[in-house]
Amino acid sequence: MNGSSIKEVYKEIFKSHDNPSLKQHIKKIIELDVYLPYSSTFFCITNTQDLSFEYISKNMTACLGLDKQELQIKGMRYLWSRMHPDDLDKWLKALNELMNFTINEISVNDRGKMSYTWNYRLKNGKDEYVNVVQNTTPLEFDSKDKPVIGLAHYTVLSGSLEMQISASAKLLNSNNEYETVYFNNFSQKLLTGGISNRERDVIRLLVLNYSSKDIAKKLNISPNTVDTHRRNILKKLKISSTGELIGMLKMNKNII
């Protein structure tokens, strides 16, 4: 997939309906960057409308060895050009599904309480691939309540780590705690090994911490049928408990 194709897919995912402006508090975030210590993390303020970085924190160069000014000028396209080619399609699929989940499943009032995480491999200034875990919190929304401006935190990890491409969405609940409301691993297919579409639906809801009774209501089947699906899933995947299944998924383990 070339840069032009990536741009078109990305712009379609984040297609906006107006031109929101940056909030005043973003200036405060930038001011704080002066006082933050150097570490393995950095942050950017991303603009998905014009594919630019409104701001890049000083730690970026220390973490990736890239020229901050070049990244600022060339924007997201430059970052994409350094992404591992094997990760591009999975990454775009992850973004698309996160956006669809937000639009279809998250109420307008809750969208400002969301936090999204995904990962990919990126070539650093030494032309070596490293793992990057990106966590983005929306700051601005367009007229259709679609997130377009975000505060993105990047954690850079050794390229020797084998990390499957996954994406998750968390919602800040009434207890001021982030709870996972979406998770998907894009490096493996749960439909392999004889897993049916209905069983995949059950797995997806189990990962979201739904009980058998809740799953039965959502899928319009009986709780006994849900329990049968759960037993069949464990048998097919050769694991002993639902907790083990969920743990494997959330820890990016290969279960197939």
At residue 83, does pLDDT exceed 50?
yes
Per-residue model confidence as pLDDT tens digits over 223-250:
999 999 999 988 887 777 877 777 766 5
Query: pTM score, two decimals?
Result: 0.68
DSSP for residue 61 = H
* Pairwise CA distance, residues 104 & 210, whole Å: 18
Q: Helices 223-237 and 212-219, interaxial angle, to 10°?
A: 110
- Burial code (b: 16+ CB inside 10 Å, e: under 16) for 120-148 equals bbbbbeeeebbbbbbbbbbbbbbeebbbb
Per-residue model confidence as pLDDT tens digits over 134-182:
999 998 888 888 888 899 999 999 998 888 888 999 998 887 888 888 8
Structure tokens at 35: 């006082």
Residue 88 CB contacts under 8 Å (≥ 6 apart), including other chains: 1, 6, 80
The confidence score (pLDDT) of residue 256 equals 37
Structure tokens at 243: 């907790």
The percent of the chain in helix, strand and coil, each rounded to the nearest 5, is 45, 25, 30
The confidence score (pLDDT) of residue 254 equals 41
The distance of Cα 119 from the centroid of its chain, to the nearest Å, equals: 7
